[in-house]
Amino acid sequence: MDDALLDKRPSFCAYFIRMHGPESDFTVRMLLVETTGGKTIFEGIGSWLQCERWIAQISGWIIPMKKLVLVRKRIEQKRLAAITAVRSSVESVESVGLTRVDR
């Protein structure tokens, strides 16, 4: 993907909050909060694997797997976890089924 195009996409901070479920397949609430000037917030609730897929789809696999493993470990410890600087267009975020909650 062209670097100039990547720079025009807004940056989001992805927050992961463990909701409930067994250790092997717990439910996570994912919030994407725009960090580049806007107040756009998206939400999705699903399994951790679903959250991984959402991040991969909207960021184009830019997030290193090592970072995702660290986030999962924090969530397993029932702690808030975050990934900063997730670059994606609003259209890409909406296309994976995340719901806009800032309106």
pLDDT tier for residue 14 given thresholds of 50, 70 and 90: very high
Q: How many domains does the chain have?
A: 1
Q: How far apart are CA 23 and CA 71, in angstroms?
A: 15
Query: What is the secondary structure of 48-70 as a DSSP string?
Result: HHHHHHHHHHHHTS-S-HHHHHH
The string of pLDDT tens digits covering residues 45-76 is 999 999 999 999 998 877 788 888 899 999 98
27-34 and 41-47 strand pairing: antiparallel
**What is the structure's pLDDT at 17?**
95
Give residue 31's domain range. Answer: 3-100
pTM of the predicted model, to two decimals?
0.84
**What is the structure's pLDDT at 12?**
93
pLDDT > 90? residue 99: yes
Paired residues of 14 in beta bridges: 32, 83
Grouping H, G, I as helix, E, B as strand and the rest as coil, residue 11 is strand
